Structure 1
């Protein structure tokens, strides 16, 4: 297994964060009238985000083990919770926080040297 640098972990998290923003755009579109201008703009933004994500993800998986990349992708749960609070003013529950902490702990274990 290749050693993963802090810069690569940061890049992975930025790419995952970008990916989760596509869901925000989709949810915003769902609140609009079908085929209205705001609907088309939000879905256009979603497609644009997913296009950037696809390119960035390919660059990431060239630089690290696939198992590490996918373990970091699980952090999408954290970013999704952050977006629900920021954009949709939803509240967090204790179960949400515990779940994210468990996922975070697993991600940290995968990213560690294991030695």
Structure 2
């Protein structure tokens, strides 16, 4: 799972395939009536929207685990969003987290993401059938 405060992409690997396949894409709606002036109320609303989005992703991960769509997961997100996401994850999901990469990689292609993960993750976490 690779995400930032606005977008999330969930990828799958297949044993016989050396790549990643994107299976789910989420995008957080943004306020179309934005203004350049920010108030404390606007900041609070933005913070709540990001928190809600983290909860949506956590729910999707829990549902995927419960339906046995995966048996392990790597979380990739900027540290501040990763921290927020971790607040929403339940213990069952935490039990299958095999790695965290605290970087904003949401816009990388699947191939570039796989290469970056294989450089960033410990040796015991093998991605994409490698």
Q: TM-score range by the shorter chain?
A: 0.3 to 0.5
- The structure that is strand-richer by fraction is 2
Task: Return the TM-score normalized by structure 1.
Answer: 0.40
Task: Return the TM-score normalized by structure 2.
Answer: 0.36
- The structure that is helix-richer by fraction is 1
